[in-house]
Amino acid sequence: MDTVTYPHGGVQRRLGEHFVCVRPQIDVEKDLAKKYLATWTPGFFFVDGQENVHYRATGYHPPEMFEHLLDFARGLMAFNRGSYDEAGKILTAVAEDKDPSPLQAEACFWLGVARYKGGDKDALSKTWSSILDRHPNSLWAPKVGFIREKEKVAKGRRRTG
């Protein structure tokens, strides 16, 4: 992380603008590590002022993937406080970024939920459908696969109705 990812301009800008950063040494800050259930390094935690953990990730991340992680976590934190429009904008940027990363499928999942909770009820299935189209081998595809069956049933009803 120190050699490649933290010196990256996009990573520095994101951490500098949007987060307060701290690096506890896991074998020194043992009580803190225990509190967060941090057992391996690097171990990343995204925490609010009440010390709620909104997201965690473990292991080296190359710069482009780490940029997605930082943006995704920020979007998820906006979602968790009910700021669905803000969450939608941040998650859209991750989901539609030209640089691919495994976080984009997860960003699509929560983007659909943010749009739904923000009042666009049709957006849930449309956004989740994009997971099946663009990230069919992701961990998130099986979680939304049922919507295709629902779409087939709905089309059948329209034909027979």
AA letter at 80: N
Q: Which of 4, 19, 85, 152 binds other proteins (CB under 8 A)?
A: 19
Verify binding: residue 6, other proteins, rule CB under 8 A.
yes
In this complex, which beta carbon is closest to other proteins, that of residue 44 or of residue 116? Answer: 44
Question: Which of 38, 123, 110 has its CA nearest to residue 78?
Answer: 110
CB atoms within 10 A of CB 137: 6
According to CB under 8 A, which residues from 64 to 83 bind other proteins?
Answer: 70, 73-74, 77
Verify binding: residue 32, other proteins, rule CB under 8 A.
yes
How far are the Cα atoms of 24, 26, 45, 59, 128 from residue 84, in angstroms, in the given order?
Answer: 32, 35, 22, 29, 17
Site string for other proteins, 35-64 (x = CB under 8 A): -x-x--xxxxxxxxx-x--x----------
- Quote the tokens at residue 13: 């800008």
Look-up of token digits 């950063």: 21
Strand partners, 55: 46
Verify binding: residue 113, other proteins, rule CB under 8 A.
no
∠ Cα 92 93 96 (to 5°): 75
Strand partners, 36: none
According to CB under 8 A, which residues from 128 to 147 bind other proteins?
Answer: none
In this complex, which beta carbon is closest to other proteins, that of residue 4 or of residue 25? Answer: 25
Verify binding: residue 23, other proteins, rule CB under 8 A.
yes
Q: Which of 1, 93, 130, 143 binds other proteins (CB under 8 A)?
A: 1
Instruction: List residues binding other proteins (CB under 8 A).
Output: 1, 6, 11-13, 15-27, 29, 32-33, 36, 38, 41-49, 51, 54, 70, 73-74, 77
